[in-house]
Structure 1
């Protein structure tokens, strides 16, 4: 399988090169030239198989010819064996035809583990084969960083540098990153917001001269195609558990960078019956404003109780725009260049086509707290603030009560005790046993100014062979 850029000018690449490249040379994101498509009969035959085996069925077409089948199957079994629940992504029922899929049973208690536990193994496999060393550079609004560090910290062929916005992630999220010891692990707290961190990563991938030609950058953010690929699987898992593919499903997805919900869009294109995808956002609602009113316009970023979604520039949205424009890279490039200068819209018929599948909602902090409290009082089930936004958006946007509505439970509530406290509940979510001593562990991170040159100089002087 070959991969092409959403901006149409970079050369098509194979899976290994896409894994290591991150951004395309023309500034675009890589997507498959074509998608595998599964019949209803084939999907139906997957009922009852393990999560790892389901992941193999869905993902192998993306790596076929690059990674031998037995090696890939073993990699997947190792990846999902570290999750704390036998089902890997268990479903919890909240009400009639209303469910939460718990995607926080991995080692860092967030949905990012599904992709990043695999990504670390893929990188080690490919880099060992190539006898190559890379520098991982990533930005996090909270969860990607810890999941990337956990997934890659044992990799022999990488140094990892994770940027997070200083004092704008929860304490649990920060400590999960900064207490992991290793000579190849570097945490950078940037005096800015997540969009600043993400911009630095993109600029650095665009011009890697600061590394002196001695190594190259590799991406762990959801610009990396392997991240999206791994997230497609749990849409199939949820559907199969609730009667799919013989009935359609609806999903509500808390999202800031659009990667997780784009995976659901791909699952539908690959043959899974999905009737509705709800984009659930907080006050940083650029995706909601586009999907509800066809206006893509950046506002000032605000700090909220759901910090993993405090994002205004949604990188993966470009991948959807590419499809909406008939895979015309020039049109996408022009649109995004105009979006950097002011508000933009797309042709009405393209927007209406997107609305056939997508709905959206923006949920403020007070409503988030109200939802956490209401669900706990009715179900004795504790939601983290991001999942609470997903539940509220699902209820506000639901088209058909006969169709199962599944909210993606993106993080463990113990990661966000402040939001739980603000909801008025006296219950305190405990960290799992393997993290019980988190607040006693030594932290290690470097605070830098909001300057791409400062960050690049730090990386250039701290990677292993610098």
Structure 2
């Protein structure tokens, strides 16, 4: 399997090179040259435990890693999860809740980043050299990435987060990791500012090459690939439990990476009837799927901070498929967005962008009410991101297929929101242990050159 750039100005490369490259040299994002059709394998796959299913799915794309090595990487990655199923589903009311928070940092990002951290180490061991990871986080990516590579030889990790705009526990999970290879940077700005600094730095190809920069953000193909696995796993469980032949997924998303994984699984043959895209007040993505216009607005701080994003880094991958895999058309649209803050695609004859997608928005009041209602009616506590997904899914009832709502984080990570909604906090021993933990973090200006200088000084 070879990988190409959405912008078409890069020769095809192998999987290991794609992992180490992160963002393509032409500024595009990497995708496989083609997606395999796995329709004839679904029945056999439906019986597999999570790690074995991951080996089957990832193995189709990681063709330059020997099978035994890949199997060990995957087994080691998911051995760190506290639930034997890795990604179990529970029935709550009308929905199946896919719990993706059983990893070391209690967030869905662990599913991909435990694997990616081991993958980085494996490749460096085989090839030699060093890797300096530069990442941006709106909350959960940072801590999951840090816990994926902390203490690993030949790797440094530099994570930027928007100062004061992550939850206190999200920040503590990052800044309490004191390993010598971990650097936390609090940027005076928004997550979009952090993401722009990262992309601009990677766009300086000589600087990126000289300092061996790599990415853990969802611009890295391996992250999206790892996330496709739980769509297969959850769909198999739900179809078996509810006697269905297809499913729907509701996905709270800000950066489009998580729902993109579902889109790719559907393109590979998984019978997904609908993907329900759920945003909070930062609704650039839901507005796009309902209007065809992808236009920036100001970032609004909310109780679901991991979704407080206006520029979705993985949207370009979807747009590439939407325009028929035409790099020239894609580049034209991305230039429109760069120059004017907006781009537009035509709606189909039914007045929608894509029949697969339904999209909606859950505001703060609705999110808090949903958390309270599910606690009162079902005794189940949703974190504020998951609650957005549930709230929007309720806007699109459908008896034709069971709906699986992605639970992207443990509610204990968002203490104040849960107290505001239910009147009492939720606890988790992993987070309680952080109460008196020592922290380390450097404040830095919202400036590309300042971040570059920091990298040079600390690499």
Question: TM-score interval w.r.t. the shorter chain?
Answer: over 0.9
Q: Deviations over 1:401-447 (max 9, x none)?
A: 23110000000001101111221x1221102x334320111000001
Q: Report the Cα offset of residue 106 of structure 1.
A: 0.3
Within the candidate set 271, 290, 293, 1:292 is matched to: 290
The CA RMSD measured in Å over matched residues stands at 1.5
Name the residue aligned to 2:67. 69
Q: Deviations over 1:4-24 (max 9, x none)?
A: 111111222111111011111
Name the residue aligned to 1:181. 178
Q: Report the Cα offset of residue 163 of structure 1.
A: 0.2
Within the candidate set 409, 412, 430, 2:410 is matched to: 412
SS in 2 for 1:261: helix
Structure 2: give runs of 5+ residues left out of the alignment: none
Within the candidate set 99, 103, 107, 2:104 is matched to: 107
Q: Deviations over 1:346-383 (max 9, x none)?
A: 12339967421001011111111000000100011000
Within the candidate set 257, 268, 271, 1:270 is matched to: 268
Distance 2:347 2:430 in 1: 51
The structure-2 alpha-carbon separation of the partners of 1:350 and 1:170, relative to structure 1 and needing over 3 Å to count, comes to farther
Q: Report the Cα offset of residue 243 of structure 1.
A: 2.2
| 1:1-400 correspondence runs (5 A) | 1-40=1-40, 42-64=41-63, 66-96=64-94, 98-210=95-207, 214-243=210-239, 247-340=245-338, 341-349=340-348, 354-398=353-397, 400=398
Q: Report the Cα offset of residue 208 of structure 1.
A: 4.7
Give TM-score, length-normalised by structure 1. 0.95
Q: Deviations over 1:43-79 (max 9, x none)?
A: 1112332100010011101111x11101111111111
Count of residue correspondences: 456
Kept in 1, the 8 Å contact 2:25–2:205? The answer is no
Kept in 2, the 8 Å contact 1:208–1:216? The answer is no
Q: Deviations over 1:125-164 (max 9, x none)?
A: 0111111101100000000000000001132121100000
Within the candidate set 437, 443, 447, 1:447 is matched to: 443
Kept in 1, the 8 Å contact 2:7–2:29? The answer is yes
Distance 2:81 2:341 in 1: 44
Distance 2:331 2:8 in 1: 9
Distance 2:239 2:151 in 1: 39
The structure-2 alpha-carbon separation of the partners of 1:353 and 1:39, relative to structure 1 and needing over 3 Å to count, comes to farther
Structure 1: give runs of 5+ residues left out of the alignment: none
Distance 1:435 1:296 in 2: 37
Distance 1:404 1:22 in 2: 35
SS in 2 for 1:93: strand
Q: Report the Cα offset of residue 246 of structure 1.
A: 6.1
Distance 1:12 1:353 in 2: 33
Distance 1:411 1:310 in 2: 15
Kept in 1, the 8 Å contact 2:162–2:189? The answer is yes
Kept in 2, the 8 Å contact 1:112–1:147? The answer is yes
Distance 2:235 2:347 in 1: 32
Distance 2:152 2:437 in 1: 22
4+ residue runs of structure 1 moved beyond 4 angstroms? 208-211, 350-354
The structure-2 alpha-carbon separation of the partners of 1:263 and 1:354, relative to structure 1 and needing over 3 Å to count, comes to farther
Distance 2:150 2:353 in 1: 39
Distance 1:243 1:364 in 2: 31
Distance 2:347 2:237 in 1: 37
The structure-2 alpha-carbon separation of the partners of 1:351 and 1:226, relative to structure 1 and needing over 3 Å to count, comes to farther
Kept in 2, the 8 Å contact 1:136–1:219? The answer is yes
SS in 2 for 1:13: coil
Kept in 1, the 8 Å contact 2:176–2:438? The answer is yes
Distance 2:50 2:329 in 1: 39
